[in-house]
Structure 1
Amino acid sequence: MKVSTLVLPALASATLVAAAPAGAPLVESNKLRRVLLRSELKARAQELQAIATANNGTRAWGTPGHWDTLTWIESHIDKNYYNVERQYFNITRQIFDDVSVKVDGVRFSDVNGMTGSPNGTVSADILAIPNLGCEASDYPASVAGKIALVHRGSCNFGLKNALAGTAGAAGLVVWNNDPTSLQPTLGAPEDYNVTEFIVSAFITQADGQALVTKLGTGTLPATVANVFHEEIDLTANILATTKGGDQNKIISVGAHTDSVKAGPGINDNGSGTIAQIEVAKALTKFSVNNAIQFSWWSAEEDGLLGSRYYTSHLPEEEAAKIVMNLNFDMLASPNYLYAIYDGDASAFPSPYATNGSALIEKTFIDFFADDGKESVPTAFDGRSDYQGFLQIGIPAGGVFMGAEGIKTAEEAVLFGGQAGEPYDACYHQACDDINNLDYGAFITGAKSIADAVAKYGRSIAGFPFPRAAAKLIPRTPLAEPMVPNPSLTKHARHGGCGKALEA
C-alpha cells in the first residue's frame, strides 16, 4: 500500500523476492495455529523485558526503550515474505518544568502533574472537600477562590476538576487512595461541559491523609504548580505487508508497541506485539489469497496517535483496499477474561456497529467456542487503535483480555480467576513485567489472531467488500505534529488504556 512513510535505508533496499516458499500451501487456520508455541511467546517476552530493563524499565514512545522495541520487531520479520516500512511522524510532547504542591511553607516531595491541566501556578488557601468530590453538592460555597483538596475515587479526575472549577475553586489537588504512584490525565474540558480546567496536581496517599488531618475544617496557605513546555518529538509505526495475496484486498492486523512511562508494559501491550510477531513468522510457511498487513502502532498510550496518524494520512484509493482492521491489546492478563469487541452492538450501544464489524465479532465468538472456551462482549466504543479505521468506514473488531476493571463473580465462573480483583492488577505500573503474564490466555490470544488471519487470508466471501466509499476524516498536513489526547484510550466496561482518567 502507498502511505506517507519514510523507509529505513536497509528496508528500502530490500529485494522483492518470492512472496512465499515455492509450493507453500494455502493458509489454513488449524495448521497456522499449530505452529504457535508457548515457549516462543515466553522467549519473546523475555527479550522484550530485557529491552525495558536496559532502558530504565520503560518502553514509552520517544524513549530509547521504544526505539529498541521497533528495531527488535523488525529483526523478527522476514523481509523476503513481507514489505516492511517504518512510518515516521511527529508528536507534540508535554515536558513538565515545575510540578509542585506547597502548603504552609512545606513543599511536598512526591507530586505528579496532571496531563490536561492548564499551564500555570496558583497560590491560595487550600480547603479539604468532603466525600469524593464527584457531586456538585460536595463543593461548599467557601471553596470559591481557594484550592480544593479532593480524595481520589469513584469518578474521573476530569469530573472532579470540572466540578471544583464550576464551584469557583482556583486550583485542585487530588490525593491518592492507593500507595502506588499514578500519572493522572484529565481528558478534555468539553467532556465535562466546561470550557477550561483549573490548575491541578496529584499527591500521594500518605501526604493527602496527613494534610486532611492537619487542615480539619480550616484552611492553610498553599501553592500549586503545573508548569510545562512543549517539544516536538519523533516516533514511528511499523507496517509489514505480505508480498503475496491480492493487494486490493488487505486484511489489517494491529497492536500498539509502546508502554506507559511507569513500566515495561509486557502485557500492555507487549502481549499483542509479541502475538503478532509470532503469527507473522508462522504465516511465512503458507501462501495467502488476500494480503495481510501487520501493523505495530506507536503512541497508543497518548491517544491512539500512531494508528490515527496512519488512517488520517491514508489516501482514499488506499483506504478502499483495506477490507477490515483487527485489533489486539492486552492478550495475557493474569486474571483474564476473553472479551470480544461488540461489533453488532447487541450488548453495548455503539455508533460504530456495522454488518462487517458484526461478522468479525462472530469470527472470534466462533473461534473461542470451537476451542471449548467461553467469551463475552466488550464495549465497541472506539477507545483503541481500531478507532481511526471505523472513522473512515472500515469495519473492525478484535480481542481484549482485561485491564484494571474488576472481574465479576459471573466472569470468574466462566474464566476462572479471582472475582472482585482486577483483570490486571499491574496495569500501567512497573510490575507489568515478565511475571505479569498468563501463558494459557496468551497462547489462546495468539491463536485467535491466527484463526482470523487464516480465515480472511483465504477468503472474504460473504464479507461486505468492496464497500461504498466513505467520507474520510479531514486530512492532517504531513508536517503537523500529532497532539496527545489520552481521553481517547479508555475501555468503558473491562478497563483499558487510559485508566488514569478514572479516579
Structure 2
Amino acid sequence: MRTVRALALVAITAVACGAPAPPAPPAPDPALPSRLVQEVTGEGALAHLTELQRIADTHGGNRALGTPGYDASVDHVVRVLRDAGYDVQMPTFTARRFEVQQERLAVDGEEVAVSALGFSPTTPEAGVTGPLTLMVGEGCDPADAAAVTPGSIALVRRGTCPFAQKAGHAATAGAAGLIVINNEDGPLEDGTLGEAATGVVPTGGVSREAGDALAGRAGASVTLTLVTTTQDTESRNVIAQTRTGNPDEVVMAGAHLDSVPDGPGINDNGTGVATLLETAVRLGSSPPVANAVRFAFWGAEEVGLVGSTSYVQGLSEEERGRIALYINLDMVGSPNAGYLVYDGDDSDRAGEGPGPAGSAAIERVLVEGLAAAGVQAAGTDFSGRSDYGPFIENGIPSGGLFTGAEEVKSAEEAQRWGGTAGEAYDRCYHQPCDRLDTVDRTALDRNADAFANALARFALSTEELARG
C-alpha cells in the first residue's frame, strides 16, 4: 500500500510540475507465447553463435574462465542486452581455475593415454614412479586400498563414490598417484576431484580398454606425470531483468557462458547462450507480462557450477523466495541431437529423483513446446551437471532443455529423432571441434521455439506450477 501511495504522489507531483506522468506498464498479452515463438528463431540465435565463434577464434580458441575469450563473451552479451533496453548487472565471484600442462603415463616404458582429473594435485615435472598396485572394488572404502603400498601408483575402477574419496583412500595408504579406469568406452575426461578436495594424490583417468589391460599388470613400473596448476580467478555473471512484470514473482532462465579450455564451446554452451540472448531481445525489456523475467548468463560452470552457485547462495532468503521458477539451457544444438527435457516429476524413475514442487509443470510445458515444434521429447535426469543444481538445492522449481553430450544415442532414439545410433549425441563435446559447423540447426530452432513458448507462458502466469 505504501508503494501505491508513493507512486501516486510521484504522478501528482509530476503533473503539478508540468512533467508528463510515467507511462503505465502494458497489460499482459495472452498472445505473447505465440508471438514470441514466431519471432524467436534458430537463425536469430545463429547470429550470436557466429559472434561467439569469432570471439573464440580471435582469443586463443576458447572462451574459458579467466581468459580474454570469456571477457569478450561477457562484453558481447552485455552490449546486446543494453541495446535492447535492459539494465544489466555483472556480479563478480571468485572461482578456482585448473589448468593442465602435462599428462603422461608410462607403464614399463610403454605410453598409455591418460587425462588428469579436475583439480588433481600436481606431480613433479619428472612425474612420480612406483610399482602398479590394485585397489579392490571401487575404492570407496579404506579397506579397498589394503594392497596399496607406500610409493606405489594405485589403480581403481570408476564407480558410484566420488573420485576424491578414492584418491583420499589411496593417499592414506601411501600411494604416490592414482589411475582411475573409466566404466564405459572412451577416455575418462569429465572427472574431477572437486576444487575443495584435500588429502588426495595426483589422479588421472584412462579408458576402460586401457585400464582392463593395466589391471593384469600389477607390479609393473609406472611413471605418472600430471603437471597442473590451480589458482583463484575473479569472474563475472551477467544478469538482466525486464522492467515490467511483478518483481516478487520472477520467471528466471539461464545458460552458462564459459567454455572449456580445450575448445570454443559453440554447442557447449554457445547454443544455450544464443537462444537465451535471442529470446531476451525479442521479448524486449518492457514486455506485456504479469511476472518479471530475469535472464542469467553464468560464469565458471565448467569448473563446478561456480557462477550460478555463488549467485543463488548470495541471495537472501527473501530474494530466493521471489524466484518462481528457473529454466536452464545447456547444449541445445548437439550434432546428433536428442530432445531431452529434465524429468521434473521423476516419471522415468532414474537417477536423482524429482525436482522441487512445480518442476513437473515446467517439464510438461517444455514437452508441449517441443511437440508443437514437431518432435516427441524424452526425459533426462537432474544429474547435477548443469546450473539448475543450486536452484534445486534451494527448493526452486526447475527444468530445462538438453540435446545430449558424450552419451550414446540408442537405436530407439535414432528411430524417433533421426541421427545415428551408437554414436554420441555430441562427438565434439569438450573438444576443439565444438564449432559452429557442427551445430544441428534444426534442433537449435526447435528448442528455441519450445523455450520461447514456456518462458512467455510462465511470464503471463505461474498458476500451473501449483497443479504439478
TM-score if structure 1 supplies the norm length? 0.74
Tell me the secondary structure at the aligned position of residue 34 of structure 2. helix
Aligned to 2:401: 399
Tell me the secondary structure at the aligned position of residue 355 of structure 1. coil
Give per-residue Cα distances to partners, 1:435-472, cap 9 Å, x unaligned: 1200000011111110011101112234339xxxxxxx
Quickly say closer, same or farther: Cα 1:27–1:148, change in 2 above 3 A: farther
1:31 partner letter: R
1:114 partner letter: L
TM-aligned CA deviation for residue 310 of structure 1:
0.7
Tell me the secondary structure at the aligned position of residue 465 of structure 2. coil
Q: 2:55 aligns with which of 51, 57, 70?
A: 51
Structure 1 Cα separation of the partners of residues 275 and 90 of structure 2 = 19
1:304 partner letter: L
Structure 1 Cα separation of the partners of residues 145 and 80 of structure 2 = 59
Quickly say closer, same or farther: Cα 1:346–1:205, change in 2 above 3 A: closer
Quickly say closer, same or farther: Cα 1:408–1:282, change in 2 above 3 A: same
Aligned to 1:472: none
Aligned to 1:432: 434
Give per-residue Cα distances to partners, 1:278-320, cap 9 Å, x unaligned: 1111112842221100110111111111110110000122112
Structure 1 Cα separation of the partners of residues 167 and 240 of structure 2 = 43
Give per-residue Cα distances to partners, 1:370-402, cap 9 Å, x unaligned: 333111111123332112112222111111110
2:356 partner letter: T
Which of the pair is proportionally richer in helix? 2
Structure 1 Cα separation of the partners of residues 103 and 238 of structure 2 = 35
Percent of aligned pairs sharing the same letter: 34
Q: Compare 20-29 and 315-324 and name the one that shifted more.
A: 20-29
Contact 1:249-1:323 at 8 Å conserved across structures:
yes
Contact 1:19-1:243 at 8 Å conserved across structures:
no
Q: How does 1:46-445 map to 2 (within 5 A)?
A: 46-78=50-82, 81-94=85-98, 113-118=116-121, 123-127=128-132, 143-148=148-153, 158=163, 161=167, 169-173=175-179, 182=189, 184-187=191-194, 196-201=199-204, 219-220=220-221, 223-224=223-224, 226=226, 230-284=230-284, 286-349=287-350, 350-445=352-447
Aligned-CA RMSD value: 4.1
Structure 1 Cα separation of the partners of residues 33 and 306 of structure 2 = 32
Q: Compare 30-39 and 336-345 and name the one that shifted more.
A: 30-39
Structure 2 Cα separation of the partners of residues 378 and 56 of structure 1 = 34
Aligned to 1:495: none
Give per-residue Cα distances to partners, 1:339-390, cap 9 Å, x unaligned: 1111111113545533311111111122222333111111123332112112
Structure 2 Cα separation of the partners of residues 365 and 127 of structure 1 = 50
Structure 2 Cα separation of the partners of residues 88 and 19 of structure 1 = 34
Contact 2:265-2:435 at 8 Å conserved across structures:
yes
Aligned to 1:33: 37
Structure 1 Cα separation of the partners of residues 309 and 322 of structure 2 = 18
2:193 partner letter: L
Give per-residue Cα distances to partners, 1:403-432, cap 9 Å, x unaligned: 000111111111111111100010011110
Structure 2 Cα separation of the partners of residues 204 and 345 of structure 1 = 31
2:453 partner letter: D
Q: Which runs of 5+ in 1 are unaligned?
A: 1-16, 466-503
Structure 1 Cα separation of the partners of residues 249 and 145 of structure 2 = 60
Quickly say closer, same or farther: Cα 1:387–1:44, change in 2 above 3 A: same
1:69 partner letter: S
Quickly say closer, same or farther: Cα 1:27–1:88, change in 2 above 3 A: farther
TM-aligned CA deviation for residue 336 of structure 1:
0.9
Give per-residue Cα distances to partners, 1:182-224, cap 9 Å, x unaligned: 575234899xxxx843333468999x79x97xx966533x554
Give per-residue Cα distances to partners, 1:155-202, cap 9 Å, x unaligned: 899287567668764322469999989575234899xxxx84333346
Contact 1:132-1:150 at 8 Å conserved across structures:
no
Q: Which runs of 5+ in 2 are unaligned?
A: 1-20
1:314 partner letter: L
Structure 2 Cα separation of the partners of residues 458 and 140 of structure 1 = 57
Quickly say closer, same or farther: Cα 1:23–1:80, change in 2 above 3 A: farther
Quickly say closer, same or farther: Cα 1:412–1:103, change in 2 above 3 A: closer
TM-aligned CA deviation for residue 101 of structure 1:
5.8
